[in-house]
Amino acid sequence: MSAPSRRPRPPCIALDFDGTLICEHVLVVWVLFLLRRSGWPALRRVSFLAKSIVRGAAAVAFSRWPACAPWAVRAAFAAFRGVEEKSVTALVDCRRTLRGGEPAHLLTLNPAVTAMIGEMLPPCRKTPEIRIYSQGSSREVIQAFLARADVKAQLGAIGIHPAAVRVYANALETDGGGRFTGVIEGSILTKHNRPASLPEHAVFIGDGDDEKIFRRIGGDGSVRFINWRRWGRHHIGRGFDTPAQPLV
């Protein structure tokens, strides 16, 4: 009896950022941070709130359709026109106080996902390349987050070097005077065009929304999708030496 075919060790582990590598959704947290902690005058905060609600609702409604997704992303990021570049660092470094009185950052690593990756990496003789693909987080925020000391320490503990992580995300244009223009530089990355940019035999880790898109798009089985919310104990220790499977 022949041995079951095995999927080649992946050259890349790719992850979504919002709601996967981190627990939060960046644009939502960023808006709340600016409203509460920016020190802006009241009129500016009210104007920004109204703009964020309208554009955010439109982005959520239209992002589900591939043809409209680039417009939806542009609409969401346009709300940050005039926002100071320095707010990125302030957001990433900002802490809140938990009910027990302990401080915690506004943006935090997802312990379930880091634990999962920590279980998946040891069987690999060579650590796969780590990539982040994000539609809803700005490249600037992701890079600042990966550079934070506690994040570097936590990822380093499971064998990931943040400086080597490749980030694929939408980048905001700046006006040269320390503010964002609300315009996205270059082509728009969406959840719908993301699968086509993944390297062959990659493993992509995301949530239920990502899974729906991967199922709809289909594929030749060269990319393996893992819904981190369904990662069970039966996977632990198997690493990537599992029989070849469909895309999801």
Is 241 among the domain residues? no
Is 7 among the domain residues? no
> H or E segment at 212?
helix 208-217
Q: Give the CATH number for residue 161.
A: 3.40.50
- Per-residue pLDDT tens over the stretch 138-176: 999 999 999 999 999 999 999 999 999 999 999 999 999
What span, in angstroms and rounded, lies between the C-alpha atoms of 54 and 29? 16
Beta bridge partners of 206: 227
Is 129 among the domain residues? yes
Q: Residue 103: is its pLDDT beyond 80? A: yes
The number of domains in the chain is 1
The pTM is what? 0.89
Q: Residue 235: is its pLDDT beyond 80? A: no
Cβ partners under 8 Å of residue 123, min gap 6: 237, 238, 239, 240, 241
Is 66 among the domain residues? yes
Range of the domain at 45: 12-235
- Per-residue pLDDT tens over the stretch 134-143: 999 999 999 9
Task: Please name which of 108, 54, 110 lies closest in space to residue 79, comparing C-alpha atoms.
Answer: 54
